[in-house]
Structure 1
């Protein structure tokens, strides 16, 4: 049996002594809790562990936050005076200072919840006297408070906590806010970056939930939009000088010209002071809503680097009657207010406890007659009521939820089975249900309601810092962001003044945009925003800036020199307009003229021995065929047409067959003429003029049949070669049938081979009657030309294919002309003494 005493029921009591925390309170039927960070830091006392720790000391009074607190009181008193809202219920408040520190924020939350035990609780359950809490300001503080209050389902409505993490209803089921989530602010900032084409952006964030969360979401969003984060730095909470200097150096070395500073005003100020020390200029600062309208940063010392800064701020409003309410304060009349004394002493740099032991400072005493009206301080500045407006909306949201509870009809309530709450004992969880469903339009025309995450509708003003003529900072609204509209972001670019008071939009890119005609090529080991611009390959274009890939032109088109437009390809063929075509045409006509000249010489000297001895009829026929060979080169020059394509090869094949047939016939006659001089030979009677004509006709007829069948079955036709790798469209004549083309050339080669063979056999005949040597030389030249033609024809590109064939035709024609007829013309014209019968007969022995 255990010797331990049975456990007694634990009595519920608050941890610590709530009276240690200064509180501004007013009684009411329903008391609203308020958490405000009136001080920026808290000085923790050394822990001896031998005695209870002394109360924490807060320092760094924040006049802006004090205005927010006074706005809450103003709204409550305004509601209490309104007969149309909660006519039988008076609102009270309990307001604490959380000192911008999570530990202190948790202490104040415990104090808010630390009410007396219920009468019927038996000392085992705690129920606070505050059913709802307004606050806290910073996201980090609200995270701590929300986790605690969520356990008891006490609704918390924050006026300044924007961390997107607080939208998680699993972790924070009782958290709501009148401040839009950072998710929407970051979306607005990312859209701003996209709008102005910034692709190389730096991010510096505060070391808290607000800064880290917002910066992380921003980095992810801009990457989705194609931009890159040049640097991502965190400002340490202790503002270590070494770390701050390193961040500024990183900004300088990154090359970015646009930096988002996503931090609360204290952290932002610390970084900007270091930027001033290092003379960091040329940066376009993007501000988060936490400091875009912070007056502490609008002082003249920051003008050199912050003028032109831009950022999104929540909506503002002009709250009627607020300024007189703010100016009403006086420590003489509000002696029970623990915060007004701090406010007064910090505002006027005096001491209300002068001469007391508790005051060890040398500040002059406060008379109590100082006038707030005569001071110029952010506390009384009601021109930029944004967070104050959020506090105002939070109070009214509570009021409308209480109004809905008070006017609930049985059976139509939001509780189980339509039950209505008991207004004399309001439970926090009941108020939470009504807060989630609250919906109203306030006096400023703004619809107020919460979504399923407890977030309000996100609407921002785009603020631009501009210096006025008297050197003051003006928060100029140059656009807006409304997540309920289609386009969301609206910007008046003409109203913006950028860094340096210029109208030029700053450029912030890792690499300059690639102009049309080039494409982006990523640099290894660099972000996608850092790239090289590569000229598009020939035949490809890009007609837009920053093209990822170049587009291939259609087969009929080619890229221009700038590679930004597809232009029609140049049509290429062997024409009379280019040098090569003109040259070949002239050479062909010269050859034809030479042939006519030789014909004329032979005609004029047809009765001379040398002409008669060379069979004048065959000589004239050869000359005529050679003239036709020169002329058949002309259809190869010019744009191919169906008629010229059919004429080209058939004319070439038939005329060369005629010419070689005549040479073959002449070779046979020369050879047989020598044989006929032998005693008893009857050979020449079989090679008379008729037989010669028959032999020539038969030789030509075979080629005519080949060409006729070729034209009937698969005639040559014009063809366009569209190569994607070439800038030219090649016009040529397609052979139609490679077999027919090969047969045509082969037949000419056969006739030439027979002529060469017979001429070679007759090469040693007596010189005066011997043309065999000349025919041999001419056939050797013919074969050399056409042997070289075949590989050259196959490998020549474009119009050079046709030029190669024309050259072969002309070269072989000139070879035949020179070898067969120039020696005879030489004798006729220059050696007439040798053109005699006696001379001719003298060589026959």
Structure 2
């Protein structure tokens, strides 16, 4: 049978003990007060630090060794070495490095929960090749020979770091504070873990080094440092603080509310994320302190499971039945605030402990009945040793079968046990597999614990998630958010912990100068760009056939747009075009009906008919711009309008030239008479129109217009349009038409005061003023509009300029023909011409 020997190293006297040579040994140093022993052939030893209390002042009124005997300070190497050597000595005799018998062999050590205790034991026992199981904080052992026989009941540290990082990212807590305990573990956490957090997008508002917790010296300085750190924490805008500590760090955490009252510091609620090394610990004077500070906190803890019979075992413990357990007696007196003297003489003012007090009546802040991660680790360590011993005794080694239970395990054989411990694998009584990896770390995950406190100083460790290092990448963390209870100040809502408000969809982040990268401004996405997610690094461009909605968080398909006969604008322009066509045809009919009258015959009747026909076609050409563009429509749309208008302007130029030549031909001896006639008018019209015809032909031959899509001009529409093809040819043809218009206007302006029977030169001048004004205003208007409205502007310009020519040139003549027919005779023509000559 394997018995478990537990030696709790708690009293750490500072006096230097002396050694005197004695028969078969050395005189004992100051004893280790709190220990528990049960004899057996093979012993599993334990060096466990459990008690914290203030030390008594040294008065030198008594022997220093007796005063220091009750001094309990932070874990020191000296006292850990003492406990280690005592376990390797003959029981009852302190003989370092020597054992008088083969009984009570310590085959393995369970040490913890502090990393220093584990380190000091490893530095001592590696020489003896004795296996050690460390629980709680895993020590940093730089010497590989010292680490060879050390196995960690704490899963690999990188898994815990990954779990904390995934937890922060899961809740989008990217602006945090960090508090760590001064020491090797804390430094390693800052130097190796936090840079990885930064690479994953986590920023730190502060990183504070918490002083080591001492109870015997330097209390004033230590409290001052705590106050300064607490001020940093409460002033921080980060709502989440990662606390990387040791088992006793909760003692420090529970002092915050007291510091807040003593120093008049406004309390500010934080979500604490605690590491698995920590447990709920307290000192005696904290018994009645409020524990609300940990309400809503989250802990990464070593995975544990309730063991059947564990609570029954705990409830059966009492100081009367376990007289050999000195630690239990100390705990009982402190927990139940009663007196349990060693003798009937030693008593104090407190009530005497009956031994019948129930542990389950104590609040959780004093004693927990459930099996914590640390307890579960110790439990698994004991059974790992038992299974390794069983495997060793049932195996064949060096050709000899070890089956005799009477055979004792000698010190020189201890290293053999370690080989079996590294390969041990078993299912514990909770049904969970226990095994170790090649580094000696237990192959287990972590639980995520949510701390829920109650007014009676009890609390609940609620498991709300799991960190499974064996899960696929990206799925190592599982969290049940709905089961988490958040700190009261956050009103049951998951808190945010960011440097500034998040950037909503439609905005992108812009870094603030001289601030960590988690601090940024939110800039709205530029036109045509969107961001779909919160805190977008940049805005993305919508596809060409989509546009950004008003909130700039969704790309919406663009509508197809063109000037249609089905919309009001298209209907209005089409009606105007048809109306002007009808008016032009009516005027043309009037002129044909009165073709033999002087007013019609004046200035070349054929040119007048050509002009009216051109105007009619101009109004018809406007209809080519309405409707969905297609190949034929685009091919003739611009070319037809430019060509027809060029013919119309050529006719106006011919009529103006006729007026000038007619006046000059009336002068005596003028040689201009020979230029008069139909051939001159025909030549002007044909020659001017021919140049435009050549330009348009070249245009259509080289790079003709074609249907096109304009997805850029309009934000929310794709405009179907006719692309002009060659812009040079288009503007050349349009420029030539403008050139003819300017020449016609100039000639008409010069001839406006020449005598004329019906003052046609003046009317032509007015018509060209309207024509040129329309097309000069067309250019800036056309360039300032977009989409189908550009087409509407062009149609309007065609209709307005054509209507100007029709109205200014033909309206006065129609008035005379229809209303004043008495003026439409030859005598009136001669009289007016003669009057004009005399005036000249």
Shift of 1:557: 1.6
Shift of 1:45: 7.9
Distance 2:377 2:296 in 1: 26
User: What does residue 308 of structure 1 align with?
Assistant: 296
**Contact residue 289 and residue 312 of structure 1 kept, 8 A:** yes
Distance 2:332 2:280 in 1: 24
Deviates more, 1:177-186 or 1:14-23: 14-23
User: What does residue 477 of structure 1 align with?
Assistant: 463
**Contact residue 250 and residue 281 of structure 2 kept, 8 A:** no
**Counterparts in 2 of 1:375 and 1:445: CA distance versus 1, 3 Å:** closer
Shift of 1:447: 2.8
**Contact residue 292 and residue 312 of structure 1 kept, 8 A:** no
Please tell me whether residue 411 in structure 1 is matched to residue 398 in structure 2: yes
Shift of 1:456: 0.7
**Counterparts in 2 of 1:730 and 1:13: CA distance versus 1, 3 Å:** farther
User: What does residue 498 of structure 1 align with?
Assistant: 486
User: What does residue 271 of structure 1 align with?
Assistant: 253
User: What does residue 618 of structure 1 align with?
Assistant: 607
Shift of 1:267: 3.0
Aligned length: 782
Distance 1:714 1:547 in 2: 45
Shift of 1:561: 0.8
**Contact residue 438 and residue 449 of structure 1 kept, 8 A:** yes
**Counterparts in 2 of 1:187 and 1:768: CA distance versus 1, 3 Å:** closer
**Counterparts in 2 of 1:41 and 1:300: CA distance versus 1, 3 Å:** closer
Please tell me whether residue 394 in structure 1 is matched to residue 381 in structure 2: yes
**Counterparts in 2 of 1:575 and 1:241: CA distance versus 1, 3 Å:** same
User: What does residue 157 of structure 1 align with?
Assistant: 133
Distance 2:134 2:119 in 1: 11
Q: 1:254 aligns with which of 218, 236, 239?
A: 236
**Counterparts in 2 of 1:156 and 1:11: CA distance versus 1, 3 Å:** farther
**Counterparts in 2 of 1:389 and 1:413: CA distance versus 1, 3 Å:** farther
Shift of 1:138: 0.9
Q: 2:504 aligns with which of 499, 503, 515?
A: 515
Q: 1:371 aligns with which of 349, 356, 379?
A: 356
Normalising by structure 1, what TM-score? 0.77
Please tell me whether residue 529 in structure 1 is matched to residue 518 in structure 2: yes
User: What does residue 555 of structure 1 align with?
Assistant: 544
User: What does residue 84 of structure 1 align with?
Assistant: none
Distance 2:689 2:138 in 1: 101
Deviates more, 1:294-303 or 1:556-565: 294-303
Q: 2:174 aligns with which of 174, 199, 202?
A: 199
Deviates more, 1:588-597 or 1:303-312: 588-597
How do 1:97-496 residues align onto structure 2 when only pairs under 5 Å count? 100-113=75-88, 130=106, 132-163=108-139, 165-166=140-141, 169=144, 172-209=147-184, 213=188, 219-220=194-195, 222-236=197-211, 237-238=213-214, 240-264=222-246, 266-275=248-257, 278=260, 280=267, 282-292=269-279, 301-314=289-302, 315-318=304-307, 320=309, 323-324=312-313, 327=316, 330=319, 334=323, 339=327, 342-343=330-331, 345-346=333-334, 349-350=338-339, 352-353=341-342, 362-363=348-349, 370-372=355-357, 376-377=361-362, 382-384=369-371, 386-411=373-398, 423-466=409-452, 472-486=458-472, 487-496=475-484
Q: 2:31 aligns with which of 20, 25, 32?
A: 20
**Contact residue 35 and residue 137 of structure 1 kept, 8 A:** no
Distance 1:318 1:188 in 2: 25
SS of 1:316's equivalent in the other structure is: coil
Distance 2:736 2:512 in 1: 63
**Counterparts in 2 of 1:529 and 1:14: CA distance versus 1, 3 Å:** farther
Distance 1:200 1:414 in 2: 62
**Counterparts in 2 of 1:380 and 1:526: CA distance versus 1, 3 Å:** closer
SS of 1:475's equivalent in the other structure is: strand
Distance 1:470 1:364 in 2: 23
Shift of 1:176: 1.4
Cα offsets for 1:246-266 (capped at 9, x unmatched): 333333322333333333454
User: What does residue 8 of structure 2 align with?
Assistant: none
Shift of 1:104: 2.2
Unaligned runs of 5+ in 2: 1-20, 261-265
How do 1:641-652 residues align onto structure 2 when only pairs under 5 Å count? 641-652=630-641
**Counterparts in 2 of 1:460 and 1:716: CA distance versus 1, 3 Å:** closer
Normalising by structure 2, what TM-score? 0.78
Distance 1:45 1:442 in 2: 47
Distance 1:136 1:441 in 2: 24
**Counterparts in 2 of 1:679 and 1:535: CA distance versus 1, 3 Å:** closer
Distance 1:469 1:364 in 2: 26
Q: 1:632 aligns with which of 618, 621, 627?
A: 621
Distance 1:577 1:153 in 2: 96
Distance 2:314 2:696 in 1: 113
Please tell me whether residue 655 in structure 1 is matched to residue 640 in structure 2: no
Cα offsets for 1:330-358 (capped at 9, x unmatched): 56984x665565455545632525686xx
Deviates more, 1:671-680 or 1:431-440: 671-680
**Counterparts in 2 of 1:171 and 1:825: CA distance versus 1, 3 Å:** farther
Cα offsets for 1:757-799 (capped at 9, x unmatched): 7767866754438745554565566556556666776676555
Q: 2:49 aligns with which of 37, 40, 47?
A: 37
Unaligned runs of 5+ in 1: 1-9, 61-97, 416-420
How do 1:717-736 residues align onto structure 2 when only pairs under 5 Å count? 717-723=706-712, 726-736=715-725
Across the aligned residues of Structure 1 and Structure 2, the Cα RMSD in angstroms comes to 4.8
Distance 1:332 1:574 in 2: 101
Distance 1:606 1:325 in 2: 128
